[in-house]
Structure 1
Amino acid sequence: MADSSIVQNTGGYSRNLWQRHGEAIVTGLCLLFIILAWQAGRNNFQTPAVILFALAYITGGYQKAYEGLEALFKAHKLDVDLLMVIAALGAAAIGYWMDGAILIFIFALSGTLEGYTMEKTNKDIKALMQLRPEAAVVLRGDREEVVKIEDLKVGDVILVRPGERIAADGVIIAGSSAVDQASITGESIPVDKQKGEEVYSGTINGQGALEVRVSKLARETMISKIIGLVQEAQHTKPPSQQFVEKFESIYAKGVIGGAMLFLLIPPLLLHWNWQDTVYRAMIFLVVASPCALVASIMPAILSAISNAARNGVLFKGGAHLQNIGDVKAVAFDKTGTLTIGRPRVMDIIPFGDIAEAELLRIAASVETLSEHPIAKAMIQAAKEKGLLLERPVDLQALHGVGVTGVLGGIKYIIGKREVIKDMTLSAEQETVISQLEANGKTVIYVSGNGQLPGILTVQDSIREQAVKVVKELKDMGIKVFMLTGDSKATARAIADQAGIGLVYSELLPAGKVEVVQQIEAKYGKVVMVGDGVNDAPALATASVGVAIGSGGTDVAIETADVILMKDNIEKIPFAIRLSRRTGKVIKQNICFAIAVAVTMIILNFVGGVINLPEGVVGHEGSTVLVVLSGLRLLR
């Protein structure tokens, strides 16, 4: 039994070793056969030398020949792999066995190096996979049960001990701790978490034990979505790459045609001998092949996507990465995007002899059982002031207006202006209310027994980084807009704080779509940033839709092209700069690849100063260099 286990483990290790280093092993064998063949040739063992060269051709070129023939016969596509094999066989046919073998070896070595360099772009996805816990401790009454995370159900309560990874997205129901969320949000400092706050799967618990009620299934957790999105991005080719791959097939046919002309024209017009002509044609096949051109794009795209993911920005594909660099305008939703999305009590204004604290206590007590954000803001303000709240009697919700309830024998109505529609306010009161509304604050009326003891105001707070982000975008030459369903006064107040001059207010979801289309028609590509269900149509309409991941709705996240894993809008300028830098690197790579190819074609045809190995080194060297150049974007 033990022997069987050892054999299985050894076999698994061997398979893993072959998967990771198979190309390198084959390339090493190819080099070994070349050295042995060269040594045999020096000692005048010609037949063994030819056999060893043939083995070098087979070990180093079999896979490329197979892939090239498969592409030719199944996809009717002539690719670079087949061109290299044809060139090597052509060199062998005229007696240049060593040159052809070196071509095969360097081509195989190039593929091996590209494989290793491309592996760097997959490290982040592998690291993400390791962040996903495999099991969780579920509390079943007084006992603990270890279950796979796939078996967790919404509503289960899991125990997270100090230092453990949190196994599921959920809400803390007991305990408090500092949680390291760097893997999800990119925050470098652990965040203090307590009862009622949300935690994410894959994050690391600090020194306190937590009991967490599971809110999402394993496949729906934030870490699972991140992994899925990064995998999707890695397998989605941007338009530039699709164009180059189509161009590759046409170009390869052109190279074959050019080689045929190379075989015909020089002997007739320049009186080259047949052997030199074939040899130079083989060099042409090598140096004119578009390997470096093809490798100019995807390594750069994948490196940039990997870089962005490490910084909490998820692109759903390379096309979106390229598009965001070309934007001319950014449109922000207001609530939950430019603002925190949680209203706070700003003013408590009594009318009459009632004290501010008593007015707030009454309003918060009546709102005690309500789940409305404004109600929560009043209750929070009362708790901060240490006020003792009562539970109202006969509580009723007035749809779209407010709530009513009896407190201390008095019937109170808390809500919008409609709750006092039968009252007449003094000119002084009207002036105060008008000024508050002009400042973008929402006025909440407290009515009791037909009287108006006072009013409160609530207002959403602007994010600390909003001003900096808006200024940064403007400095980059990008127009900044704000779109919101709020009133003009509220919208204008927030826009002024953020430094945004172009504001569209009182918009329904369809209205946001129309505005995005208008902006795009006037300025060019538009980024729409939002977090709510009502933003989804505009996110889908914009050139690039950006969703706030940590606080955004599932609809917004599914619809968007880019996701900010933390509600950190300052990553938007970062994403645009990264896209623009990626575009520059791709252009540099393409120019370099074309310049090398053209130079070597001229040297081969006009001067005849390069041999086949030198052509191979120049060609494959340029391919490896553009791949390494793309990997710069990992930084």
Structure 2
Amino acid sequence: MNKLVNDHLSSYKFIKNSGKIELLAALCAGVLLCIGWFLSMAYPTPSVILFCMSYMIGGYIKAKEGIDQLLKERVIDVNFLMFLAAIGAASIGYWLEGGLLIFIFALSGAMETITLAKSERDLTKLIQMKPQFAHLYYSDDRIENIRIKKIKIGQKLLIKPGELIPVDGVIIKGSSDLNESMITGESMPVDKKAKDLVFSGAMNGAGSLIMEVTATAENSMFNRMIQLIEQSKQSLPPSQQKLEKLERYYVKGVLLLTASVFSVTYWLLDWSFFSAFYRTMVFLVVASPCAIVVSIMPALLSAMSSGSRKGVLFKSGIPLESIGQAKVIAFDKTGTLTYGEAIVTDIKSCDRELDSQKILKIAASIENRSEHPIAKAIVKHAREKNIVLQSIHDFKSIVGHGVEATIQGTKWKLGKPGLFHADQITHAQSKWIKQLNSKGKTVILLEKNGGIVGIIALRDSIRSEAIKTIADLKQLGVHIVMLTGDHSITANVIANEVGIDQTYAQLLPDEKVNRIQALRHKYGRVAMIGDGVNDAPALSAADIGLAMGGKGTDIAMETADIILIKDDLRRLPDIIRLSRKMNRIIRQNILFAVFLIIMLICANFLQLINLPTGVVGHEGSTLLVILNGLRLLR
């Protein structure tokens, strides 16, 4: 594990430093380019020196990459073409055009490297969360600390209160409440007892456990999550693969035509060397993909800026382009469609001497001593009702079930139905409990003198904007599903309320990945939105991953392609509309740019334009394309 952490730390530091160097070089090139442009009007010679410095500083990294690709892999890429186009423009006196091309290209490369560094950093953080040691338990009650990589299947481990479960296993002794939010995303702690399964990465509550190992560290749930994220990051999306193939054909085609222009005009048409070289340089300038490149970037940047004003962060242009083409969006439940915090929904008195307010007062007074999420929810509800809590005595926590305490000489017990004997719960009370459970609610009972006197129900609250968001997405023609690690009853209740027709519950992280792949096969491009560590593998596996930025985990946000900074689900339909509009503008820009480049190339072959005309036509089309893309800023 140490080697894995060190490898990722070294990789992160290298990528981070590379990104900083690339960004600094691009910015320096841009500054020198601007100064050179201002000086060129009055001082041509000093401006040429500044342009040369801009070329060398901004273009060194990309030119080196292009040359390395050519020498080592025998592949001519767009880096090499940009280098030739810039040199070609400079060779006939158009320094500014070549410098601008280099600046834009260098800046985009720096942003890509910086984004990669952030992803590597947070994957390292996730790896570091895994415990290094475990407590090996022997039958004679001896305890030995060992590294988790030495743990074998069948061995027994002691899990102390507050510790992470180191490997997957089954409980053979003890009971406790486990926080499995890192694995299932469920915000409520889950009661665990003998014969129950536990997974690595879950946080143990107040009780001690003896567990038997069922999987080694390498095959544990936590380790599989890390592997899934790594695999997804190493695989290129289909759109990127197509772009790289087209890039190679385009570069080869332009270079072949450039050589052909010189050969035909000089050798076959018997032009003079200067005329042939001049026409070749004009061709290289007008055939430069500058107009095609800016047909995408201004539109992307404008759309990103528009999205950021609405609280949406796009990590790159690829997810912004892809989200509008998504056929299905998969929602996590806890923390995404819901707030991930329990609230009190029902209070019922079963005693004539106690009304619902007194039931709440007693329960909150007792739970005020507990740190359990359910206890905090009950206390919070009481404070919102301005209820003054009472002092209690003899407080005792019943691990995995509830609490008990004495108030003014009366002993009270508070906990889940499993804490009490069946004969303590009446038929009417049992029927009401089943009704509450069918609605996805957690039930807490209050007992006095052996009888149940009060019932309190809690449930995770649905986000206020969730219902309208789902309706808007359906109107846009997007299919909606829910993927959650929560119980099927709770999941179905939430899904019905928000309008989701297709639900998959009780899913582990790798099962969510499998479901994403199945949805892609059935519908096409898939987007996934979640907030927890357990959602990260599915976010990586989806074509577009979206994370809740307000309360989302670091690894979910860094794994995702799009972040909803304010956790506002209403932005989802907005960004789909924005993506579709941006794609329309990009198609317009590309068609216009390609058409004009073809026209300029034909005019150059017919000697209808000279170099200044070609530059004006090429740069004029570039300006129009940029202005069209900037419409998205409105």
User: Which TM-score bucket, shorter chain as reference?
Assistant: 0.5 to 0.7
How far does residue 499 in structure 1 lie from its aligned partner after superposition?
Answer: 1.4
The 1:420/1:515 distance shift into structure 2, 3 A limit, reads farther
Kindly provide the amino acid, as one letter, of the partner of residue 347 in structure 1.
D
CA contact (8 A) 1:106 1:617 kept: no
2:34 aligned with 1:24, yes or no?
A: yes
Matches within 5 A, 1:487-506: 487-506=487-506
- The aligned runs of 1:164-179 (5 Å cut-off) are none
| CA deviation string 1:334-370 (max 9, x = no partner) | 2222122232222221223232222222222221211
Q: Is the 8 A contact 1:80 1:252 kept in 2?
A: no
CA distance in 1: counterparts of 2:416 and 2:427, whole angstroms: 19
Q: Is the 8 A contact 2:29 2:53 kept in 1?
A: no
Tell me if structure 1 keeps the 8 A contact 2:54–2:99: no
- State TM-score, norm by structure 2: 0.65
Whether contact under 8 Å (2:549, 2:557) holds in the other structure is: yes
Partner of 1:471: 471
TM normalised by structure 1 equals 0.65
Give the unaligned 5+ runs of structure 2.
1-26, 71-75, 116-235
Matched, 1:612 2:614: no
Confirm or deny: 8 A CA contact 1:251 1:290 kept in the other structure.
Answer: no
Residue matched to 1:422:
422
Compared CA separation, residues 395 and 507, structure 1 to 2 (3 A): farther
Kindly report which structure 2 residues correspond to 1:146-165, keeping only aligned pairs within 5 A, or say none: none
Q: Is the 8 A contact 1:244 1:294 kept in 2?
A: no
Is the 2:446–2:454 Cα contact (8 Å) retained in structure 1? Answer: yes
**1:88 to 1:379, Cα distance in 2 relative to 1, 3 A:** closer
Cα gap change, 1:244 to 1:536, in 2 (>3 Å):
closer
One-letter code of the match for 2:575?
Answer: A
SS of 1:423's partner is helix
Indicate yes or no: 2:89 matched with 1:79: no
Q: Secondary structure at the match of 1:294?
A: helix
Distance, in Å, in 2 between the alignment partners of 1:299 and 1:601 is 25
Q: 1:516 to 1:254 in 2, by over 3 A?
A: closer
Residues 1:107 and 2:97 aligned together: yes
Q: Secondary structure at the match of 1:461?
A: strand
Q: Which has the larger radius of gyration?
A: 1
Aligned to 1:199: none
**Contact 1:293/1:590 (<8 A) preserved:** yes
Q: Deviations over 1:134-169 (max 9, x none)?
A: xxxxxxxxxxxxxxxxxxxxxxxxxxxxxxxxxxxx
Aligned pairs, number: 474
Distance in 1 between residues matched to 2:376 and 2:575, nearest whole Å: 35
Question: Against the structure 1 CA distance between its residues 439 and 83, is the aligned structure 2 distance closer, same or farther, given a 3 Å change threshold?
Answer: closer
Matched, 1:532 2:532: yes
SS in 1 for 2:344: strand
Distance 1:62 1:361 in 2: 75
Paired with 1:481 and 1:350, the residues of 2 have a C-alpha distance of 38
- For 1:129-148, what aligned pairs fall within 5 Å after superposition? none
Equivalent position of 1:337 in the other structure: 336
Distance 1:254 1:480, change over 3 A: closer
- Measured against aligned partners, the alpha-carbon deviations of 1:388-410 in whole angstroms (never above 9, x if no partner) come to 32233332323332222233333
State the Cα distance separating 1:72 from its structure 2 match: 7.0
- State the match for 1:322 in structure 2: 321
Q: 1:620 to 1:105 in 2, by over 3 A?
A: same
**Are 2:511 and 1:521 equivalent residues in the alignment?**
no
Are the aligned partners of 1:286 and 1:616 in contact in 2 as well (CA < 8 Å)? yes
Match of 1:286 in 2: 285
Aligned equivalents of 2:483 and 2:66: distance in 1?
53
Matches within 5 A, 1:369-388: 369-388=369-388
CA distance in 2, matches of 1:110, 1:610: 23
CA 1:405–1:485: 2 relative to 1, 3 Å? farther
Distance 1:113 1:519, change over 3 A: closer
| 1: CA distance, partners of 2:424 / 2:240 | 69
Q: Percent identity?
A: 43
Instruction: Output the CA distance in 2 between the equivalents of 1:296 and 1:259.
Output: 23
Q: 1:265 to 1:344 in 2, by over 3 A?
A: closer
Q: Read off the aligned partner of 2:617 and give its amino acid letter.
A: G
8 Å contact kept, 2:29–2:55: no
* Counterpart contact for 1:343–1:377, Cα < 8 Å: yes
**Aligned CA distance change for structure 1 residues 579 and 513 (closer, same or farther; 3 Å):** same
Separation in 2, partners of 1:308, 1:546: 14
Counterpart contact for 1:31–1:105, Cα < 8 Å: no
For each residue in 1:297-351, what CA deviation from the matched residue of structure 2 results, as whole angstroms up to 9, or x when unmatched? 3343344334333332223333333333332222222222212223222222122
- Pick closer, same or farther for the CA change 1:497–1:277 going to 2, 3 Å: same
Aligned mates of 2:460, 2:269 — CA distance in 1: 81
State the secondary structure of the residue aligned to 1:79.
helix
Say yes or no: does 1:444 pair with 2:449: no
Matches within 5 A, 1:87-486: 89=91, 100-101=92-93, 104=94, 107=97, 251-252=250-251, 254-265=253-264, 277-356=276-355, 357-423=357-423, 425-486=425-486
SS at match of 1:495: helix
Could you report, residue by residue, the CA deviation over 1:278-313 in whole angstroms, capped at 9, with x for unpaired residues?
543333232222222233333433443343333322
Query: CA offsets per residue over residues 185-239 of structure 1, 9 Å max, x none?
Result: xxxxxxxxxxxxxxxxxxxxxxxxxxxxxxxxxxxxxxxxxxxxxxxxxxxx998
- Alpha-carbon distance between aligned partners in 1 of 2:527 and 2:262, rounded to the nearest angstrom: 54
Shift of 1:59: 6.8
Letter in 2 for 1:454: G
For 1:238 and 1:295, the matched residues in 2 are separated by: 22
Work out whether residues 368 and 375 of structure 2, in 8 Å CA contact, stay in contact via their aligned partners in 1. Answer: yes
1:539-561, Cα deviation, whole Å (9 max, x unpaired): 33333332222222334334333
C-alpha displacement of 1:627 = 3.7
The CA distance in 1 between the partners of 2:287 and 2:633, in whole Å, is 30
RMSD of aligned Cα (Å) = 4.0
